Amino acid sequence: METVYNQYNHAIGLATVHLVWIPCRRRRLFANNEALKLRCIEVFHSVANDKKWVIKALEVAPDHVHLLVEYDPHTSISQVVKAFKGRSSRILRLEYPELLKLPSLWTHSYMFDTNGKVSTQRVLEYINDPHHG
């Protein structure tokens, strides 16, 4: 697979990050609520679309989220995480009042990997593997 780099005004490159985060108190929010899961996916896609980022892979598991996203070089990883977690928390808590019982939708923590040691293809295979069921 040949790497295709993006061109920007003063840069050329490919910024891709694998992100993982969990709901507050590691609740299994998406285990029995397909509508909530689908709405969360919609919100993530709207964030990516608005920011002109590309979601390469996405999994909303019962108690965590995996996201492989290609973003612009002018944005920090923390800003990427904040965009996805912030908008999804705000919208989902408005639309699903039962989520207001939690102090927040997501924990403050997240894991990131810039794929320096593992190819994007390997990360894609990992995220798309049904082992997270």
pLDDT confidence of residue 33: 93
Give backbone dihedrals phi and psi of 41, rounded to 5 degrees, phi first. Answer: -60, -45
Domains and CATH numbers, the chain: 6-116 (3.30.70.1290)
What pTM was computed for the model? 0.84
Mapped onto helix, strand or coil, the DSSP state of residue 9 is: coil
The answer to whether 14 and 6 have CB atoms below 8 angstroms apart is yes
Low-confidence residues in the chain, pLDDT < 50: none
Residue corresponding to tokens 């990360």: 123
**Model pLDDT for residues 52-69, shown as the tens digit of each residue:** 999 999 999 999 999 999
